[in-house]
A and B are shown apart, each in its own frame.
Chain A
């Protein structure tokens, strides 16, 4: 009983230790806080990532640790630094995160989404492109597009994404005066008037799943127009972007025809969004080995993963490497795990773990699990 109380007490005390920072707003984080953990507020986290956005294993960990903390790392600070000095009247700049598996590309992206959220951006976030193109559950809803010949719709995925979009931008959609520029006619009886709020368009997509893909297409062109008119600034984050450029998806049409990524309406829409023909926005993409099949995971560099087509599409982009832990980051992470009782045992164990995990964040987390 006493020891348990003691543990609870020390848990409460741990807010003031060396591996944490109280700077919870990404705008004010600076390079003095590199390697330190900051805690996301519970409701912010729910708003941003309740429909995906954090890796599954990390979600599990946050549940275990009863808090969502992110480490402040160099790539995120670098990105914030770049964004702060960006001229928003120029065409959007594309940033591509790359790095080995498990080094924290998705978490860096989550950090940046938090930044964008705090800074009042309209967030267009695709948690994992392969979820649409490569993951095939037993009943994958797929239909031929009504409006565009030869393309396929993924209405359920599209609607799920609209819900995600709505929850991430609920404050902006509720309060602001984001209006639609033109009238959209969905069918004989359904249409969205020009001048209607953007949220009406989103609601329509969620309510009428049949039109979800077309709604996304409309939404994206509206977002572009709104951004160009300086009515909002937009933060686009797409994880596993290289899936769009892999020659095949795992999808099959009912006639057993293999579907190429550019035959999916969602691909068309999001590729349209990642062109640099608009401004007042930021595009953050990631090239991930896990987004393509095993036989095409030889290298983690962006040109290889994006393939020729994707590279030419994005060029010029800013590659940003998310690397393994530095010594300082590793120590900080180890003491954080010790604090959460995720890691126990003698202090020498840390040198050993550093060696066996090769400072790879994901491997480190996994190897600590049974300790």
Chain B
């Protein structure tokens, strides 16, 4: 090890006599001393290479039975091998199944010691021959299908109420599924044979459970824990709504024009304004009461009947291009204006 110390003046000139070099004691002297000791002994070359004897391991063959899957007969009864739902077992299934993550350039892992195959539920107990055999077995408990119920229409006619439930099948410790409790009841409104008032009331009671397009009332119950209870509950709801809609309460007589479910032109302001307009046109200053307006015979007003239909369709069928155009056409006819200019 050496050390160089350079002395510098601030004017930038380095003088040669100021440069000193020390050789440090610790380095060069030690190296020389070690060399002297090692020079006396050489390594010995072992030509014959005598080695210690290593005991050889004897491979013990253990007597392993061949896989059960390999010994299965081709025409065996599978239902006996796999009678019920259970976790996958590689030795019982004589199929070259593979499942799992596929490394690049390799095949997916085989069936033995494969956790992926054991995780997923399997339906090996539900092969078509087994299902067929089981159906055959329970056939003795079934009754014959009624001959008259031979079409969808016939079924719908005799059994108008439709109950929809769902069953769930899984391979988990519990066979129960909370969703199985939900019960949906569907019935065509027409099959209830309600009159005008009852129908309106029934629709107001069921609200958005009624579908206008299909005429179906759908009642769903899921508030009770068991399916049986929900089933009873939907039955109760249908019965209650039905009988309630047949009742006529005292307060229902107070129904005003705003509560109407459809637009009745004769009872509306439109008729009143038409009659008023007509009277003004004839310069008759008659003050009519509301009842008189309702009873006023519009057949003496030219074009009033088609105008009435136009307003009613505008109100009842909703406003769209055709109803508005129809209304415009009828009003022009009523007021004696020329028809719309077509360019």
Give the B-binding residues of A (Cβ under 8 A): 31, 34, 74, 77-78, 81-82, 85-87, 90-91, 93, 276-277, 299, 301-304, 312, 315-321, 326
Contacts and interface: CB of A to CB of B under 8 A. Distances in A.
A276 B280 contact: yes
B293 interface: no
B340 interface: yes
B301 to A, nearest CB: 11
Nearest to B304: A316
Nearest to B314: A303
B298 interface: no
B70 interface: no
Nearest to A326: B343
A278 to B, nearest CB: 9
A31 to B, nearest CB: 6
5 contacts: A86-B337, A93-B337, A303-B314, A303-B319, A318-B332
A277 B340 CA distance: 25
Contact of B335 (A34, A301, A318): A318
Nearest to A98: B324
Interface string B304-343: 0001000100110001100010011001101111101101
A277 B335 CA distance: 15
B270 interface: yes
A299 B319 contact: yes
Nearest to A318: B331
Interface of B: 268-270, 273-274, 277, 280-281, 307, 311, 314-315, 319-320, 324, 327-328, 331-332, 334-338, 340-341, 343
Contacts of B331: 316-319
B250 to A, nearest CB: 28
A255 B173 CA distance: 69
Contacts of A320: 328
A22 to B, nearest CB: 20
A85 B319 contact: no
A21 to B, nearest CB: 15
Chain B contact residues: over half helix, strand or loop, or mixed?
helix
Interface centre among B307, B332, B341 (most CB of A within 10 A): B341
A312 B281 contact: no
A93 B277 CA distance: 10
B280 A312 contact: no
A312 B270 contact: yes
Contacts of A91: 277, 280-281
Given A301-B324, A312-B269, A319-B328, A81 B341 contact: yes
A316 B273 CA distance: 7
Contacts of A299: 319
10 shortest A-B CB distances, which residue pairs?
A: A312-B269, A78-B341, A301-B319, A82-B337, A303-B319, A319-B328, A316-B331, A91-B280, A315-B270, A74-B343
Contacts of B332: 82, 318
Contacts of A304: 319
Contacts of B338: 81-82, 85
B341 A77 contact: yes
Given A31-B343, A316-B277, A302 B337 contact: no
Given A78-B340, A303-B324, 6 more contacts: A31-B341, A90-B336, A277-B280, A299-B319, A316-B274, A321-B324
A301 B315 CA distance: 12
B100 to A, nearest CB: 54
Contact of A87 (B327, B328, B336): B336
A316 B340 CA distance: 16
A317 B330 CA distance: 10
Contacts of A81: 338, 341
A87 B280 CA distance: 14
A68 to B, nearest CB: 24
